[in-house]
A and B are shown apart, each in its own frame.
Chain A
Amino acid sequence: MLELKKLGKRYRTGDHALKEVDLSVPAGQVLALIGPSGAGKSTLIRCINRLVEPTSGDVLLHGESLTRLRGGGLRKARRRIGMIFQEYALVERLSVMENVLSGRLGYVGFWASYFRRFPQSDIDTAFSLLDRVGLEPMADKRADELSGGQRQRVGIARALIQNPELLLVDEPTASLDPKTSRQIMRLITELCTEHKLAAIINIHDVALAQMFAQRIVGLQAGSIVYDGDPEGLTPDVLTQIYGEEDWTAVRKRQSSDSDQDVTDLEENL
């Protein structure tokens, strides 16, 4: 469904952030992109929806090239791609509801959005999504009144109301505590299953990536150095991605986490 062909990005400062990345993501697959800071994870997902302009290569969504789109075409493509951000990136002075509805901006005209007159169907969807992420009573609160976990749930609802085919998720748990991180990751992957969404999740927590993703891609200095099952992340592979370090703790934590996870899930229900 999504195909990256020799995608490259060189910043004006001379940083070669992405080097000819080839990647193909089938529909409905949840893929975790891991790698050290500065490996180009953030650049990669931003090149897909062109928040960052790639300097070479191509991005194909259902066979349609996104790199040559301009104006209206680009906006139409962007609304098919939902994005969830590190530090949530909610508009803090807008209400929860306005933040969620901002996900529909690609579908409504300027004046409708200016006067906050969204179609009834959008409002219904917004309420049901807020209900799904457990925040319906918060609809009229200002976004900056919420806790970190709650804000990220609003961010998720905002991405989903776009009715996307693909989710780009940039470090969704970077500023959350371990328990909330797991709940958020679980919510994202559950929703991907419910809506049959493909997702690319940038994440630096290897254990979380292994726990929730069906496929892991390791990025190192702008190139893909690992692409395979979560189980295939051996200490050797992790060394290749991140450099020399004692990786036994990560492996151990992964197995004990799975038990913890079951209790978490029960608490949540």
Chain B
Amino acid sequence: MSTPRTWRPKPFIENPKLRWSITIGTLLYMLLALGSVEVNWMRVYEGLDRGLKFVAAFAQPNFTGRWTDISEGLAESLVMTVVSTVIGIIVSIPIALGASRNLAPLPVYLFCRSIITISRTFQEVIIAILFVAIFGFGPFAGVLTISFATIGFLAKLLAEAIENIDPSQAEAVRSTGSRWWQWLNYGIQPQVMPRLIGLSLYRLDINFRESAVVGLVGAGGIGATLNTAFDRYEFDTAAAILILIIGIVMFAEYSSSAIRKRVQ
């Protein structure tokens, strides 16, 4: 009888020395890194108290005390959301066309792709800080920030949709002797329209959330109201604002997914 052949799964890194040194090195680094993070436990203890107050405030949110501020902030945020989404869509469509390799010549393609890359590189908050520095506090900086972010998002995903169309449908329209714009309208647009509508609605509810975030750095909207509430330690008002934001985001999400289902 022969000895049974043993089998073990092949390790990801074959060299045992390298394997062990990487494993131990990683663990060591983690321990050292954790050790370097200073924690002031006294401060945590004090902060716990404040955190508790904040959580407790959710049980008694104060909608009425600062209602004018809240409603103005909300209205401003909604306006920012809608305006920046519309601007974003309008600007992103031509950029998406230019960023589709099957439509645009290489120089145009590279140019449009670089706009998308720039827009996607920077997080909204960083852009917002820059625009607030340029245009001052207020919703204008917020609208510009969110529009800019929308362009990167929509143009990239729409360009992807355009590059993935069925080329034979477009070819058939071209073979009829159509002009370029007619070709776009008959051969390309019907194929990507559901995607464009879906992405736009999705972006609309992202933009509402963003409008709250950029407000924290001074770019207007409900975020600014929320920031003020925190600064004044009015946790009950802050809780009311957060509850409203959650409600609106949920509403936007459900209604946009319902619409997206209908558009196929």
A-B complex is real: yes
Interface residues of A (CB under 8 A from B): 49, 51, 74-81, 83, 85-87, 89-94, 98, 102-107, 110, 113-114, 155, 158, 162, 168
The 7 A-B residue pairs with the shortest CB-CB distance in the complex, in nearest-first order? A106-B177, A79-B177, A105-B178, A78-B177, A89-B172, A93-B190, A89-B168
Q: A75-B179, A85-B168, A110-B181 are in contact. Are A91 and B186 (CB under 8 A)?
A: yes
A175–chain B nearest beta-carbon distance, Å: 12
- B182–A105 CB distance below 8 A: yes
| B window 139-169: CB within 8 A of A | 166, 168-169
- A102–B177 CB distance below 8 A: no
| B window 168-195: CB within 8 A of A | 168-169, 171-179, 181-183, 185-187, 190-191, 193-194
- A91–B177 CB distance below 8 A: no
- A75–B178 CB distance below 8 A: yes
Q: Which secondary structure dominates where chain B touches chain A?
A: helix
- Residues from chain B with a CB closer than 8 A to the CB of A75 are 177-179
Residue in B175, B179, B187, B194 whose CB lies within 8 Å of A91: B187
B189–chain A nearest beta-carbon distance, Å: 9
Residue in A76, A87, A102 whose CB lies within 8 Å of B173: A102
Docked complex Cα distance between A98 and B179 (Å): 16
- B185–A83 CB distance below 8 A: no
- B174–A51 CB distance below 8 A: yes
Docked complex Cα distance between A74 and B179 (Å): 10
A17–chain B nearest beta-carbon distance, Å: 17
- B173–A105 CB distance below 8 A: yes
What are 24 A-B pairs with beta-carbon distances under 8 A?
A: A49-B175, A51-B171, A78-B177, A79-B176, A79-B177, A83-B172, A83-B175, A85-B171, A85-B172, A89-B171, A91-B169, A91-B186, A91-B191, A98-B186, A102-B172, A105-B173, A105-B179, A105-B182, A106-B178, A110-B179, A113-B178, A113-B182, A162-B177, A168-B175
Docked complex Cα distance between A87 and B169 (Å): 10
Q: Closest A-chain residue to B194, C-beta based?
A: A93
- Residues from chain B with a CB closer than 8 A to the CB of A104 are 176
B105–chain A nearest beta-carbon distance, Å: 15
B98–chain A nearest beta-carbon distance, Å: 19
Q: Closest A-chain residue to B172, C-beta based?
A: A89
Residue in A51, A89, A94, A155 whose CB lies within 8 Å of B186: A94
- Residues from chain B with a CB closer than 8 A to the CB of A85 are 168, 171-172
A30–chain B nearest beta-carbon distance, Å: 19
- Residues from chain A with a CB closer than 8 A to the CB of B186 are 91, 94, 98, 102, 105, 113
Q: Closest B-chain residue to A101, C-beta based?
A: B186
- B178–A102 CB distance below 8 A: yes
Residue in A86, A93, A105, A168 whose CB lies within 8 Å of B177: A105
- B176–A158 CB distance below 8 A: yes
- Residues from chain B with a CB closer than 8 A to the CB of A51 are 171, 174-175
Q: Closest A-chain residue to B168, C-beta based?
A: A89
Q: A75-B177, A75-B178, A106-B178 are in contact. Are A91 and B193 (CB under 8 A)?
A: no
A146–chain B nearest beta-carbon distance, Å: 14
Most buried by B among A86, A94, A155: A94
- Residues from chain A with a CB closer than 8 A to the CB of B176 are 78-79, 83, 102-106, 158, 162
- A93–B182 CB distance below 8 A: no
- Residues from chain A with a CB closer than 8 A to the CB of B183 are 105
- B190–A91 CB distance below 8 A: yes
| B window 181-219: CB within 8 A of A | 181-183, 185-187, 190-191, 193-194
**Sample of 13 further A-B pairs with CB below 8 A, known A91-B172, A93-B190, A113-B178:** A51-B174, A75-B179, A78-B175, A85-B171, A87-B168, A89-B169, A89-B171, A93-B194, A105-B182, A110-B182, A110-B185, A113-B185, A158-B176
